[in-house]
Homo-oligomer: A and B are copies of this chain.
Amino acid sequence: MSGGVPGSGEPSTRRSRRSDPEPAPRALATRADVARLAGVSSAVVSYVVNDGPRPVAAETRARVLQAMDQLGYVPNASARNLRRGSTQTLGLVVADSQNPFFGQYTFELVKAAERQGKQLLIADSREDAAREADIVDNLVAQQVDGLLFTSAFARVDRSRSLRLAGIPTVLIDCPGPVVGRRTVGSDAGGAAEMLVRHLVEHGRTRIGLVIGHRGFGDPDPREHGWRLALRSAGLPDGPIVRVPFTREGGFAGAQALLESADVDAIFASNDIQGVGALLALQQRGVRVPDDVAVVSFDGTEESRFCWPPLTAARQRIPDLAATALELLGTPDTEAGTHVSLPTDLVRRRSCGCGVAEPDPGVAAELQLPDGEDAGDGGSASAAVAT
């Protein structure tokens, strides 16, 4: 393209200065190559690339740009990061990237970071403390400008993590404040209360809880909120089952609940447990919501497209992501700061809403796609051919 002699000004046989036996076999153009081709010094190229601290004559700039284009020059990020103290990179440590909630969270974080011109290094600790320590070491070595953790282990101050000194850190998906750390999370306790209260309004009285073990010994606010709502409704405590935060966990949890207790509703502490529970119920022929209602916490796409669609407390993931990045970007905020965002009750079919006669208020949610978030996949555009 752009009629330049094709292959005239190649990167030149560089690296023939002294000894040093070719550490890099690849042949990417370097700043010096561009400078040589444009007939200027290497500083000028830098000024052009960065709209540098010194002005460059229009004609010279054009020559440099032309040379850059011809060589396909891309500045070496390693060298840049080395020279500046900062990579424009943030590290994200997720406990389970296969959970769609974290998947969506990650996606929103990436988008938010992109808006700031930063990029994310994403790693999955798979709930393994040793792996997490390695990951942190690696991220520190990569000179990340900040660190985001969903992993519960992050609360432990392990000896190696003294290296974090100086690197701003924010814990996301955090139910409450943690001493010495800045944290972001949804009001899970309030969400649990809201959901249970909603079930009570539907006349449910024997509400079981499917929940898991958090990495730490601290009490799960969802459990607390569930208990609180039951008591304030004058109901006895319901059965609890603790299973992993997975689809299989929810499946097993619902089975256990059905076998050993008499429940007319199940509160699953995240969406995938809820989906697992639904499957267990359906397989046994238990009707949802007629026999047993199900609600869950998260409100991801998966809760919207399962059958029946799950009533859920939806976390405001885009807001959470934006808040986390904002907090990370202002390292002078006090350690111990916790930002709690509310959740939204999304009423769908699994709790009993809209089964008999659809409440017009919830019709939009019950009838998919939602109109507002429906992309070009809207029903109107689907044409059948043959």
Contacts and interface: CB of A to CB of B under 8 A. Distances in A.
A382 B256 contact: yes
Given A78-B81, A247-B301, A301-B247, A240 B307 contact: no
A283 interface: yes
A72 interface: yes
A376 interface: yes
B305 A307 contact: no
B82 A82 contact: yes
Interface string A79-90: 101111111000
A129 interface: no
Contact of A143 (B2, B76, B123, B369): B76
A13 interface: no
Q: Indicate how many identical chains form the complex.
A: 2
A239 to B, nearest CB: 5
Interface stretch (A22-30, A183-191, A194-202, A332-340): A22-30
Interface SS of A by simple majority: mixed
Given A28-B140, A141-B75, A237 B378 contact: no
A276 interface: yes
Given A103-B103, A119-B138, A241-B383, 16 more contacts: A23-B83, A26-B85, A26-B166, A72-B160, A78-B79, A100-B100, A122-B122, A239-B384, A240-B384, A240-B385, A243-B382, A251-B377, A275-B305, A276-B305, A278-B307, A306-B307
Interface of A: 1-2, 23-28, 72, 74-79, 81-87, 97-98, 100, 103-104, 106-107, 110, 119, 121-124, 137-138, 140-143, 159-160, 162-163, 165-167, 208, 237-244, 246-249, 251-253, 255-257, 260-261, 272, 275-276, 278-280, 282-283, 301-302, 304-309, 367-369, 374-379, 381-386
